[in-house]
A and B are shown apart, each in its own frame.
Chain A
Amino acid sequence: MSFAARFLALPDLFPARPAGAPCGDETIDLVLPGGPYRIQGLSSRQSSDLSERYGELCRPSVARVEIEVFEAGEGDFVDIDTRGWRYELDLDHAPDRVRIAGLRFMAWIGLEPRLRGALWTSVAGGVRWTELFENYFRILVAYRLLELGGVLLHSAGVADDEGAWVFFGHSGAGKTTIARLSQESGRRVLSDDINALHRDGDTVLVSKMPFAGDLGRAPGGFGAHRLRGLYRLEKGTGNRVSPLPAGRAVASLLSCAPFVNQDPHRLEALADRLEELVSDVSIGTLAFDLSGRFWSALRETA
């Protein structure tokens, strides 16, 4: 099936450039790693829904990335029965842009000469609007972080007064378990699903993203933390940290870097960024059991 055919009534008429009638004249700024991001062309309902969803992250700022929101007609989209439907998106990668189609929206991320976004939707507000916006926005953030030498990573992030630890691995690797065990030991969970790794000069920072998993939905805690260690999770019978060769580390991180790792135009660039990251931070494989004693093993190696 060709790009967007399952979502758009007329996929060949996908907008060639970011243009159209805005949904309204409201604007909000989201202060997140890689940003601030300015979302403009919002209706007042869309704006208030996003403000409610992102709370303290919405504050007037000097935007570095702009996203325009345009109105689309209901008839532009295929009517999909969402009962039992697993959320999916269609992505089309090109050297200078990414096109995205999903449930009642189509979107575009321009990558050159500077990163910017455009979103067309028929959804006027409510949970459907915030969900579709977030499904688009997290892809845009992944590209923005890559552009800046960082990465959006499927991982559990845990912080304390000394910095943050990031544990990565596929679904079922134990991200939520390790986050819960860390929480029980008095540490703060940034997210048990997705975290941003970004740079401030030579320092690698970890930030909680608003796209948190089951844990990490507590309000606040969006500041950046210095990365103390990056560990690939392995369930085991004891608690130990073992070395992770650079090639294996980059390969494991590649598979945990959503969206951008599917882009054939940027796969090698992503691998290069990850290789730089791996050479700058403490990295290893962590085998852990449910006793919560893995923190001693981490402290010995961090």
Chain B
Amino acid sequence: MPATNPVVFDALRAFVREGPVELVVRGVCMAPRLRDGDRVVVEPRRRYWPGDVVAFRSLAGPLLVHRLLGPVRRTGSWWVLAQGDARSCPDEPVTWDQVLGKVRDCATGPVTTFRDRVGAGSRYLRHLARSRTGR
């Protein structure tokens, strides 16, 4: 997926603040909940919770739609840790200003269930444990 130019990302973020925006999911990172070509509606939130599916600009540039695991401390501030449901490890953390918004539940069903939140929480704790032990 092509990298999103920072200016374009800022514009998209401002655009999302004006109202929900529809995006197309590319890839299978969020399978089986979201599949390649699925359309999702992204809206800004004041608060995000572990298990929410969020759209954000990854460190490498492309926009990703992955599940939020939780906050991590980096260079003196809190960053966002997320992971695709079908991925084996979390993405590189990003700053909060790289988060475009939260994905709304689709017509086909909720994108986040209680089970997803528990799963995100357990992945988050596993990540913290690994970070501490350095493994």
Listed A/B pairs (14) with beta-carbon separation below 8 Å: A246-B11, A251-B14, A255-B15, A261-B15, A262-B22, A264-B39, A265-B24, A268-B2, A268-B4, A268-B63, A271-B11, A275-B5, A275-B8, A275-B11
Q: How many residue pairs between the two chains, A and B, have CB atoms under 8 Å in the bound complex?
A: 63
Q: How far is the CA of A275 from the CA of B6 in the complex (A)?
A: 10
Other-chain contact of A264, B2, B13, B18, B23 (Cβ < 8 Å): B23
Given contacts A246-B7, A278-B7, 17 further A-B contacts (CB under 8 A): A247-B6, A247-B9, A247-B11, A247-B13, A250-B10, A250-B11, A251-B10, A251-B15, A264-B39, A267-B22, A268-B2, A268-B12, A271-B8, A271-B12, A272-B8, A275-B8, A275-B11
Q: Could you say which residues of chain B place their CB within 8 Å of the CB of A246?
A: 7, 10-11
Q: Which of the four size classes fits the interface of chain A? A: 20 to 34
Could you mark each residue 250-285 of chain A with 1 if its beta carbon is under 8 Å from any beta carbon of chain B, else 0?
111011000001101101100110110010000000
Q: Could you say which residues of chain B place their CB within 8 Å of the CB of A275?
A: 5, 7-8, 11
Residues from 13 to 47 in B contacting A, C-beta threshold 8 Å? 13-15, 18, 21-24, 37, 39
> Could you tell me if A248 and B14 are in contact, using CB atoms closer than 8 angstroms?
yes
> Could you tell me if B23 and A267 are in contact, using CB atoms closer than 8 angstroms?
yes
Nearest residue, chain A, Cβ from B12:
A271
Could you mark each residue 50-72 of chain B with 1 if its beta carbon is under 8 Å from any beta carbon of chain A, else 0?
00000000000001000000000
> Could you tell me if B23 and A274 are in contact, using CB atoms closer than 8 angstroms?
no
Q: How far is the CA of A245 from the CA of B4 in the complex (A)?
A: 17
Other-chain contact of B14, A95, A247, A261 (Cβ < 8 Å): A247
Q: How far is the CA of A36 from the CA of B14 in the complex (A)?
A: 35
Q: How far is the CA of A10 from the CA of B127 in the complex (A)?
A: 52
> Could you tell me if B11 and A254 are in contact, using CB atoms closer than 8 angstroms?
yes
Nearest residue, chain B, Cβ from A251:
B14
Q: B7: shortest Cβ distance to chain A, in Å?
A: 5
